[in-house]
Amino acid sequence: MSRGSSRPEITPDIVLRAYSIGLFPMGEKADDDRLYWVEPEERGLFPLDGVKISKSLAKTVRSDRFEVAVDRDFDAVIDGCAHAGTARDTTWINAPIRRLYRELFDAGFVHTVECRREGMLVGGLYGVSLGAAFFGESMFHTQRDASKVALVHLAARLRAGRYRLLDTQFVTPHLASLGAISIPRSIYRGMLERAVEAGADFFAWPRDMRISGSEILASFAVQRDTGG
């Protein structure tokens, strides 16, 4: 993994250019304002036709247990990603990360998928959209399966919008269980270049459109049945 210290003048435009060539910024911990550029030797991604939806997860998605929305509350999502990690004591989401991604959200390059229950945010994710590539940054849940449901909704939305790449940066055992794979940096760069140059529409399904879990699952089945 290549890593080098960033300069203080990092801007949202620099972040987007970095993503376009395979780099992304990270911090060490919340109270450290330094950022680093990262480019893994093995890159994680979800094949958009290969997300694994188990029977139990499909049942949860179909139940509409969670109200799923997009781009409703970026600050709450990044707060959840930073603080709802029972398996970690620290977070890489520091003040510069919050500032940069908030500015990118305001500019339309960052999107969220949010799961609520009884009005309370209980899971979600956020990431960067560039061309036909979506770079997943972080996800969280405070209720079981909420982040998985957000991921399934994201994948369906990206497929509807003709995205070509869903980047996960790294592959963890959890992500692998959902279908994530890792590929060599050299292969990833070619896929990235083609995806960034292509066009896609995150809002092929309108922002305020309520999409049921049954419709989400059906969208996967239709594409698989037609070989899309």
Q: What is the residue-level pLDDT of the chain in tens, covering all 228 positions? A: 445 444 557 999 999 999 999 999 998 888 888 999 999 999 999 999 889 999 999 999 999 999 999 999 999 999 999 985 544 456 789 999 999 999 999 999 999 999 999 999 999 999 999 999 999 999 999 999 999 999 999 999 999 999 999 999 999 999 999 999 999 999 999 999 999 999 999 999 999 999 999 999 999 885 544 444
Q: Which CATH class is domain 2-226?
A: alpha beta
Q: How far is CA 85 from CA 67, 88, 90, 94, in A?
A: 22, 5, 8, 15
Type and span of the H or E element at 174? helix 173-177
The owner of tokens 């919050």 is 98
The answer to whether 150 and 113 are in contact (CB under 8 A) is yes
> How does DSSP classify residue 11?
-
Q: Which of 178, 94, 95 is nearest to 136 (CA)?
A: 178
pTM of the shown model: 0.91
Q: Which of 115, 104, 118 is nearest to 72 (CA)?
A: 115
